[in-house]
Structure formats: structure tokens, C-alpha cells
Amino acid sequence: MARKSDSKKIIYDENIMRIAVVLYKKSEVIVEILYHLMMKKRIDSFSAIIVSSNMDNFEQFLKKQKRKTDLMFELDPVNNIYGMFCQETQVDGGFYFMRRLQQHKKIGKDKIFASIVGVESTSYPYKDLLFVILDTYIKLLNSETGDTVLFKTVK
């Protein structure tokens, strides 16, 4: 007999639930601020990225590569998973940023996995947006095609 979790629905296991809790706690106010900046026309868009790698010192590597306007935070230090919010960045900009990181000489044989959600409007309630971000990362983890970058735009 199949369990409910055997269907194609996205189910959060314990590790994903832990990431979800940290993402929610650390991102709620950030998204509210970014939405406010968008409504006041101070920024046009932003991208939310969840990125991970087995690379040693991945956090330091990311800090050196990101822009001053990008906000980076730790989601899961054991598994090297980080969140980023990049102001004035559409999904293609986030994609090119991740491709640039993947091609960096310090990466070597390690892989970088990233889900990118470009946000171009404030139409999604912030709570829903956080789950779009998380679900995009889960889809990347469950990808059967071996993708290392998955991206989506929310308008």
C-alpha cells in the first residue's frame, strides 16, 4: 500500500523542516523590507537564492563573491546551506551569478547547487513567497536530471 508521502506532492522531511524554520525566522522581516522598497519604487526586483556546496570554507567563499547589497545568511551550517537575497537582481542575474561561482577555480571538483527565485512584484504574500523559495530548493534536490541550478520567476 502506498503512503500519502509516496505521491508527487512535496513533503518536508526533518532536515527540510529545520531549514524551513530558519528560513522563515531569518527571512520574514527581510522580505517585508524588500517588498516595501519595491512598493516605494526604490528597487524593481530581487532574487532569493538557496545555495549549497560540499566545498571547504564555502561560507567564506560566498562572502567574498557576493555584492555589498546582497544579504547572506546561514540556513544549515552542517550541510553548507545558505540563503541570499540579492537586491535589483532578476532571476537571470542570479543564474549568471551561480554559473560564475560554479566556474570559479576554487570550486574544483565540488559542486554548487542553487535554487533561485526572482521576485518582480509584491503580489505574493511574504509567507507564500517563502514557501515558493523553499519548494524550489526541494525540487532541485529531487531533480532526476542532475540539475545543479533551478530558477523560477514570481510576478
Query: Domain containing 98 — which CATH number?
Result: 3.30.70.270
Could you give the number of structural domains in the chain?
Answer: 1
**What's phi and psi for 97, nearest 5 deg?**
-60, -45
In a domain, 4, yes or no: no
If you average pLDDT over residues 38-49, what whole number do you get? 96
> Residue 86 and residue 81: Cα distance in Å, rounded?
16
If you average pLDDT over residues 24-34, what whole number do you get? 95
pTM: 0.89
Contact between 115 and 140 (Cβ < 8 Å) = yes
In a domain, 27, yes or no: yes
If you average pLDDT over residues 137-151, what whole number do you get? 88
Per-residue pLDDT, 3: 39
If you average pLDDT over residues 47-53, what whole number do you get? 96
Evaluate if residue 23 carries a pLDDT over 50: yes
Per-residue pLDDT, 102: 87
> Residue 31 and residue 27: Cα distance in Å, rounded?
6
15 CB contacts (<8 Å, ≥6 apart)? 76, 79
In a domain, 46, yes or no: yes
Per-residue pLDDT, 144: 82
In a domain, 80, yes or no: yes
Per-residue pLDDT, 8: 57
In a domain, 96, yes or no: yes
Q: Count Cβ atoms below 10 Å from residue 81 Cβ, excluding itself.
A: 21
In a domain, 5, yes or no: no
In a domain, 107, yes or no: yes
The pLDDT confidence band at residue 1, using thresholds 50, 70 and 90, is very low
Evaluate if residue 67 carries a pLDDT over 90: yes
Domain interval for residue 131:
13-154
In a domain, 8, yes or no: no
